[in-house]
Structure 1
Amino acid sequence: MATVTRHPRADRNQHLRIVEAILFATAEPVETAHLKTFLPEGTDVAGLLADLQANYANRGVNLVEVAGKWLFRTADDLSYLLRRDKVEERKLSKAAMETLAIIAYHQPVTRAEIEDIRGVAISKGTLDQLLEIGWVRMRGRRKTPGRPVTYGTTDAFLSHFGLNEVADLPGLQELKGAGLLDANLPPGFDIPLPRAGDGLLPDEDPLDGTETEQLPLEMHLPEASEEQGGEQP
Structure 2
Amino acid sequence: MSEASSRHKPNDQPALLDTELDHLPLELRWREWMGRVEAVIFAANEPVTRSVLARVVGRNCNLELIIDDIRAELTGRPYELVAVAGGWQHRTKNAFGDVIHAAFGQQGGQGEKELSQSEALVLMCIAYFQPITRGELSSFFGKEVSRDLIGVLRG
Please state how far the C-alpha of 1:131 moved relative to its aligned partner.
9.5
2:41 maps to 1:64: no
Structure having the higher helix fraction is 2
Q: Pick the aligned partner of 1:85 from 102, 105, 108.
A: 105
Q: Which has the larger radius of gyration?
A: 1
* Alpha-carbon contact 1:63-1:72 (below 8 Å) kept: yes
The alignment partner of 1:155 has SS state of coil
2:34 maps to 1:52: no
Q: How do 1:143-158 and structure 2 match up within 5 A?
A: 153-156=130-133
Structure having the higher strand fraction is 1
Tell me the distance in 2 between the aligned counterparts of 1:5 and 1:23.
25
TM-score using structure 1 length: 0.38
TM-score using structure 2 length: 0.54
Please state how far the C-alpha of 1:132 moved relative to its aligned partner.
4.2
How many positions carry a matched residue from both structures?
101
The alignment partner of 2:89 has SS state of strand
**1:63-109: CA deviation from partner (whole Å, max 9, x where unpaired):** 1111222111112111221222256538xxxxxxxxxxxxxxxxxxx
- Say if 1:64 and 1:131 are closer, same or farther in 2 by CA, change over 3 A: closer
- Say if 1:155 and 1:68 are closer, same or farther in 2 by CA, change over 3 A: same
* Alpha-carbon contact 1:61-1:73 (below 8 Å) kept: yes
Please state how far the C-alpha of 1:130 moved relative to its aligned partner.
10
**1:5-52: CA deviation from partner (whole Å, max 9, x where unpaired):** 632111101101111111222222211211111112231111101111
Amino acid of the residue matched to residue 13 of structure 1?
R
* Alpha-carbon contact 1:19-1:35 (below 8 Å) kept: yes
What is the RMSD computed on CA atoms of the aligned residues?
A: 3.0
2:24 maps to 1:6: yes
State percent identity of aligned pairs.
Answer: 22
